[in-house]
Amino acid sequence: MGKLLRLRDYILISAAFSGELFDEVRLVGGFLPSAMQNRYGFIPSRYKKTSYLTEVSDMLSVGDIERKVDEHGRAYLILTSSGNKKLKRKFRLHYKNQKWDGYFMIAVFDIPEKQRKARDLLRTKLIELGFGMMQKSVWINPYHFEEDLREFLELHGLGDSVFVLSAKKILAGKIMPLVEKIWDLKKINKNYEKVVNKIKVASRAKNYKRKKLITSAIQIYVETLSTDPHLPKDLLPKHWSRENALRLINKTL
């Protein structure tokens, strides 16, 4: 399964859908299940109500979400600009609708052990931007975030330790097997296929069992989505199951 999401991640998603006429709704549309569009969101049963309320209170205080009241006096949450940025980072939604120009952005670095903390921060930043590790100190990305990376390097004084290149071809055999290995696409696609299989079983089940299977499928889907690099279609395997998984979830609801 994908990386386990925190309670605050689910709250961010719910707040995004609750913000009527806000860009966040259009942003997450096409990636996340319609079950998460209701006013109070989709919160997995493993989280207690007290934990949910505590987390909401904390997120309100730091400014990731805001509380609104509709014309019927019902309270709901919406994303702030800060929360919007965090949601985009978590699910790499800044890649939505971007087309690939055929070039890879390549980051090469040589940072000594005494700067280990800075090196770890760099790797975290590269993952956040959707880079995949080709070798320990060589990371690639089909999308271009030169400005974001430049600002990060200047902030942490790493400008002389990191080289950023752009390349049309990578001389390492066929590109598709390399991409599949770098981003572990087989594992991600296998999890999307788990969602498809659960939904197919759920469509034949009744009542409580059906609801339980659908809930499990949605959790697997969203957690897998958080690890999905959202590569251009040109670089995805032929039978990529993300869209089919989402379509079946929405069809079953």
76, 95, 114: which is the final residue of a domain? 95
pTM value is 0.75
DSSP string, 159-193: TTTEEEEEES---SS-HHHHHHHHTTHHHHHHHHH
E strand or H helix that includes residue 7? helix 7-18
Residue 226 and residue 193 share a domain: yes
In angstroms, the CA 159 to CA 115 distance is: 13
Given a cut of 70, whether residue 136 has pLDDT beyond it is yes
- Please report where in the chains the tokens 């069809």 appear, as a residue: 251
- The better pLDDT of the pair 70, 33 is held by 70
DSSP string, 32-73: S-GGGGSTT----TTS-HHHHHHHHHHHHHHTSEEEEE-TTS
Given a cut of 70, whether residue 31 has pLDDT beyond it is no
Q: What is the mean pLDDT of residues 126-134?
A: 90
Supply the range of the domain harboring residue 231.
184-252
Phi, psi of 30 (to 5 degrees): 90, -5
pLDDT tens profile 108-122: 999 988 889 999 999
In angstroms, the CA 134 to CA 182 distance is: 6
Q: What is the mean pLDDT of the chain?
A: 82
User: Out of 14-23, 24-33, 160-169, 209-218, which region has the weakest mean confidence (pLDDT)?
Assistant: 24-33
In angstroms, the CA 16 to CA 10 distance is: 10
* The total number of structural domains that make up the chain: 3
In angstroms, the CA 232 to CA 143 distance is: 9
pLDDT tens profile 140-168: 999 888 888 999 999 998 989 999 998 88
Residue 179 lies in a domain: no
pLDDT score recorded for residue 163: 93
Question: Percentage of residues in the chain with pLDDT exceeding 90?
Answer: 33
Residue 177 lies in a domain: no
> Which residue, among 35, 56, 60, 38, has the nearest Cα to 47 in the 3D structure?
56
Given a cut of 80, whether residue 218 has pLDDT beyond it is yes
Residue 175 lies in a domain: no
Residue 47 and residue 91 share a domain: yes
Domain CATH number, residue 70: 1.10.10
In angstroms, the CA 11 to CA 83 distance is: 10
Residue 162 and residue 234 share a domain: no
Residue 85 and residue 130 share a domain: no
> Which residue, among 176, 149, 180, 154, has the nearest Cα to 165 in the 3D structure?
149
Given a cut of 50, whether residue 4 has pLDDT beyond it is yes
Residue 188 and residue 155 share a domain: no
User: Out of 20-24, 126-130, 158-162, 217-221, which region has the weakest mean confidence (pLDDT)?
Assistant: 20-24
pLDDT score recorded for residue 35: 52
Instruction: Give the confidence band of 43 by pLDDT, cuts at 50, 70, 90.
Output: low
Residue 174 lies in a domain: no
Domain CATH number, residue 133: 3.30.70.240
Q: What is the mean pLDDT of residues 86-95?
A: 72
> Which residue, among 86, 67, 55, has the nearest Cα to 18 in the 3D structure?
67
pLDDT score recorded for residue 40: 46
Given a cut of 90, whether residue 79 has pLDDT beyond it is no
- The better pLDDT of the pair 42, 235 is held by 235
Residue 63 and residue 23 share a domain: yes
Given a cut of 70, whether residue 171 has pLDDT beyond it is no
- The better pLDDT of the pair 38, 150 is held by 150
DSSP string, 217-253: HHHHHHHHHTT-----GGGS-TT--HHHHHHHHHHH-
